[in-house]
């Protein structure tokens, strides 16, 4: 459980997601002084509007905290991005291309800013404030619309040469499998993300093999989301359950591979799908790990569902800026 701020120092953690944006002001003990959360509006309609929305959310969080002086801002953003410079390289969803986010926020608020990948800050939050802060090697996997990962090795976040390490969603788990959003085939994301699951379930619905789904959301992938999938399974749709189990098993295969490669002490699995169906996901993920990780390496690994939910990102981002303000402590 890190935290390195001095007596009166305060920081803001920001989490910029595809569906929501969130900012929280923390004091030295990481008590919440104020928070603000809004839905992202998807693609920016004119230049500058995404950053304008972020600045507004930061100001609202500060207002809720009683407008204290702050000492730094930590941000989790979709990538790819350069964590050294805080430049977002290319996020079509937010309308950014080579956008100097750290610089823009630094100028606006007059404090140091650190920017990292959204999944990295989520993993960092779970690591520092979940039950695994004693672990030096941790893998975080967050299945959602895509599948992101964050890696802690030797007690440090892994960024790699490009700054964008941790693309566990683009490990190939099925040679010549279905197309992935990245253009390759058979990536984990192509067989186990929400979209991959929704695609299979939509096909079931179209064939009238999933009447609950057909009745409640039709065959449009956009409507087949975690909540309704969980309800369909509860309603007894066995083929829907089979689709989700298969996807979760693939996440277990990938987790097994990551255990073989990195030998982590803990693997944390988070994100909306797992939150909606924790038992089913953890069961199949464990099965995939037992089948694909070497016994010697998986023996003592803790496989855990994430526990901080939406707060993992803002907490991790706030912790990162605290460490940037007081390095070497």
Nearest-angstrom CA–CA distance, 329 and 322: 10
256 scored as a contact of a copy of itself (CB under 8 A): yes
Question: With CB under 8 A as the contact rule, which of the stretches 16-24, 45-53, 131-139, 318-326 interacts with a copy of itself?
Answer: 131-139
Least Å from the CB of residue 21 to a copy of itself:
24
DSSP letter assigned to residue 223 = G
39 scored as a contact of a copy of itself (CB under 8 A): no
Reading the block at residue 18, the tokens are 């595809």
3-state percent breakdown (helix, strand, coil) of the chain, nearest 5: 45, 20, 35
Site string for a copy of itself, 82-121 (x = CB under 8 A): -------x--------------------------------
> CA 228 → CA 120, 184, 196, 202, 234, distances in Å?
28, 29, 15, 12, 10
Of residues 144-163, those binding a copy of itself (CB under 8 A): 149, 151, 153-154, 156, 158-163
Least Å from the CB of residue 169 to a copy of itself:
8
| Residues whose CB is less than 8 angstroms from the CB of residue 173 and which lie 6 or more positions away in sequence, other chains included | 186, 187, 188, 191, 192, 250, 253, 254
**Using CB under 8 A, which of 33, 128, 233, 258 touches a copy of itself?**
258
Question: With CB under 8 A as the contact rule, which of the stretches 60-68, 99-107, 195-203, 259-267 interacts with a copy of itself?
Answer: 259-267
**Using CB under 8 A, which of 52, 206, 222, 261 touches a copy of itself?**
261
φ/ψ (deg, to 5) at 100: -80, 70
Question: Which CB atom, from 149 or from 316, has the smaller least distance to a copy of itself?
Answer: 149
Taken in order 131, 133, 134, 138, the sign of the CA dihedral is positive
The sheet that has 138-143: what strands, in order across it? Answer: 156-157, 147-153, 138-143, 266-269, 302-305
Question: Which CB atom, from 35 or from 257, has the smaller least distance to a copy of itself?
Answer: 257
CA 196-90-50 angle, to 5 degrees, is 95
**Where along the sequence are the contacts to a copy of itself (CB under 8 A)?**
80, 89, 135-137, 149, 151, 153-154, 156, 158-168, 170-175, 182, 184, 253, 256-258, 260-265, 291-292, 294, 296-297, 299-301
């Amino acid at each position: 459980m890190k935290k390195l701020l001095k007596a009166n120092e305060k920081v803001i953690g920001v989490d910029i997601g595809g569906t929501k944006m969130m900012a929280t002001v923390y004091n030295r003990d990481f008590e919440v002084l104020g928070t603000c959360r809004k839905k992202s509006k998807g693609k920016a309609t004119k230049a500058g509007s995404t950053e304008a929305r972020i600045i507004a959310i930061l100001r609202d969080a500060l207002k809720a905290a009683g407008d204290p002086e702050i000492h730094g801002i930590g941000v989790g953003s979709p990538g790819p991005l350069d964590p050294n410079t805080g430049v977002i390289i290319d996020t079509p969803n937010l309308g950014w291309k080579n956008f100097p986010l750290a610089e823009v926020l630094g100028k606006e608020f007059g404090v140091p800013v650190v920017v990292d990948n959204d999944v990295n800050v989520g993993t960092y939050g779970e690591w520092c404030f979940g039950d695994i802060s004693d672990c030096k090697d941790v893998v975080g996997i967050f299945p959602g619309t895509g599948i992101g990962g964050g890696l802690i090795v030797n007690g440090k976040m892994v960024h790699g040469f490009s700054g964008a390490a941790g693309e566990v969603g683009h490990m190939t788990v099925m040679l010549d499998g279905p197309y992935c959003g990245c253009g390759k085939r058979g990536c984990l994301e192509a067989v186990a993300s929400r979209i991959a699951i929704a695609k299979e379930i939509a096909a079931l619905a179209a064939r009238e093999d999933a009447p609950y789904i057909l009745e409640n959301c039709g065959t449009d992938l956009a409507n087949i989301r975690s909540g309704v999938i969980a309800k369909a399974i509860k309603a007894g749709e066995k083929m829907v359950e089979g689709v989700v189990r298969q996807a979760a098993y693939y996440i277990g295969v990938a987790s097994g591979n990551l255990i073989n490669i990195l030998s982590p002490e803990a693997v944390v699995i988070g994100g909306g799908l797992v939150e909606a169906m924790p038992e089913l996901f953890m069961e199949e993920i464990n099965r995939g790990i037992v089948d694909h990780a070497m016994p010697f390496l998986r023996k003592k690994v803790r496989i855990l569902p994430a526990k901080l939910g939406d707060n993992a990102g803002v907490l991790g981002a706030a912790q990162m800026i605290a460490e940037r303000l007081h390095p070497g402590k």
